[in-house]
Amino acid sequence: MIPWLRAYLLAFLALLAVGLPLRVREDRPRTGHPMSTAPGSSPTREVTSSLPWLLPSATRQAWLATPGATITWQLNRATLHLPALLPLPLAPAFRVVFVADLAPPDYAEILEQFIGEMEALHPDLVLVGGDLAYAETELWYAAVAAQFLRLERQGIPVIVAAGNHERKGWPLFLRHFGHNPTFRVDIGPLAVLTLDSAHGRDQLTPSQFAWLEDNLNHLEGRTPLIQIHHPIFPPGAALKGEGDGSGGSLLGFQQAFLRLCRDHAIPAVLSGHWHSDAVFDGAGQLRDDVAEFPGTKFIVTTALGNELRQVTRWPHTYHGYRVLDFDRGRLVRYTYDEAGNGNPGPIASTPLGLPNALVRTAR
């Protein structure tokens, strides 16, 4: 037999040996990684199979049944591009809830409380900004994913970002929440851009930054909203507590990231990680004076369920989440009305309704 033909045949047989029986993984849509649904957007379905260029039957049927749909391949990863959705008028109001740093298994009641509050509030979208599990077990990852699925089944999309704690159970995170932690979802008036700052604990990769820049150059009239686990700024002069011990802030590409925020008028960048509330302006100054100021708002939100910290001079610590209201794509509210007088003050997130026995103060 000709040597090159023998090599090709052996490679083909090896491919069959590892690829059969055929195994399929649906990467999008899945829990925490929905398809785009905004009018005018182009939704995609993404699948990975154990053999290249073999489509699972469900994806093949969706392709054949949808006029105008196309398939692209990257070896064993297929993307089904569905036709663009009709550009219908949007409702003017759009509500987003952002939450990060969830509860470990022994405080599962905190996550249950949050899901119940979301079922009552019924926002248009829930963003989860990393550090989901704090336990590297299949059982707990499956339980967290099941809670998010509860919301999705009630018509509340959930978009999940990775945090630094996910790296301790990275295969579990990828299995339950998708194999691409950097992605875009067009929903309502927004282009939600989910980044992964935790691969090196506190920085972006060059390819990820290039991806972000490209997406910001192709917003198609949508309002960009970024979620990333690590805060963009350090506490600076506002430090009062655990600013360094909490893991700090974004390091790689920070200045270039800030330039993109200015150039593209990004209304807000949402982060967690500190287990404490804070809001910074584009100069890195803590804005505990007013809620409204020009430029991007760099918003850090307290922990939903893990231990609380005080990182800056902002004195209030409690478990909670952040509610952001948009009106025709414009951010009109992102802080909690602590005084109850209809005038939300600076920084504060929305407290979670918890009995005192479940409040987790710093050790």
Once rounded to an integer, what is the mean pLDDT over residues 78-83? 92
Give the type of residue at 57.
S
Q: Is the pLDDT of residue 179 over 90?
A: no
Q: Is the pLDDT of residue 133 over 80?
A: yes
Position 259 confidence tier, pLDDT thresholds 50, 70, 90? very high
Q: Is the pLDDT of residue 331 over 90?
A: yes
Three-state DSSP at 126 gives: strand
Query: What percent of the chain shows pLDDT beyond 70?
Result: 94
Write b or e for each residue in 56-95: b if 16 or more Cβ atoms lie within 10 A of its Cβ, otherwise e: beebeeebeeeeeeeeeeeebbbbbbbeebeeeeeeeebb
Position 363 confidence tier, pLDDT thresholds 50, 70, 90? very low
Phi and psi dihedrals of 32, rounded to 5? 85, -5
Mean pLDDT of the chain: 90
Residues written for the chain: 363
| pTM (predicted TM-score) | 0.93
Position 157 confidence tier, pLDDT thresholds 50, 70, 90? very high
Q: What is the pLDDT of residue 354?
A: 66
Once rounded to an integer, what is the mean pLDDT over residues 330-359? 85
Determine the Cα–Cα distance for residues 197 and 162; give it in Å rounded to an integer.
8
What residue ranges define each of the domains in the chain, with the CATH number in brackets? 23-81 (no CATH), 93-358 (3.60.21.10)
Position 245 confidence tier, pLDDT thresholds 50, 70, 90? low
Angle, in degrees to the nearest 10, between helices 254-263 and 206-216:
0
Determine the Cα–Cα distance for residues 305 and 302; give it in Å rounded to an integer.
9
